[in-house]
Amino acid sequence: MDRLVEYIQVNHWLVAATVVVLVLVIVVEIRARMATMAAVTPQDAIRLMNRGAVVIDLRPAEQYAAGHLAGARRMDGEQILKASDTLKKYRQKALIVYDESGSLGGSAARQLKAQGFLQAFNLRGGLAAWRSDNLPLEKGSKASG
């Protein structure tokens, strides 16, 4: 034990750097796990949709019109930032957000949670994962909001 104390005293900068790196690794791991907890698979999304989840498509209007999840409403990033006003009646419902690959959906789900939506989820893998599971899409455009 005395040698450990001596080592720490002699190499205090090395020990401090090791502690900092360890804390950073822990923080990154926790953030990664929290991000994946907010993601749902296409099958989980179907279950949530069957229970009345609100589905939000983050893609441009042309892509939305080409094919989207049943009942999805199209919203862009700016609308997501104002969702606490436009979607306030859905605050207690599950919200599923998606884009083409799932990368923007994670940020949108975090933004919705920050606005007080308790059940905001990202479709893991986005619409690409939905398509790869050969799940159906609706075509045509509807008004967002």
Does 92 lie in the same domain as 48?
yes
Residues 61 and 123 in one domain: yes
Residue ranges of the chain whose pLDDT lies below 50: 143-145
Residue 145 lies in a domain: no
Report the C-alpha gap between 44 and 51 in whole angstroms.
Answer: 11
Residue 141 lies in a domain: no
Residue 29, pLDDT score: 82
Q: For residues 23 and 71, state if they share a domain.
A: no
pLDDT at 140: 79
Write the CA distances from 127 to 49, 58, 114, 124, integer angstroms: 15, 10, 24, 9
- Domain CATH for 111: 3.40.250.10
Residue 18's domain comprises 2-35
The structural domain count of the chain equals 2
Cα 128 to Cα 101: distance, rounded to the nearest angstrom = 6
Residue 138 lies inside a defined structural domain of this protein: no
Q: What's the residue count for the chain? A: 145
Looking at residue 33, what is its pLDDT?
A: 65
pLDDT of residue 38: 79
For residue 28, the model assigns a pLDDT of 86
Q: Are 53 and 77 in a shared domain?
A: yes
What global pTM score does this model have?
A: 0.72
pLDDT for the residue numbered 35: 56
Q: What is the C-alpha separation between 8 and 141, in angstroms, rounded?
A: 65
Give the pLDDT of residue 51.
95
Same structural domain, 85 and 14: no
What's the pLDDT score for residue 1?
Answer: 84
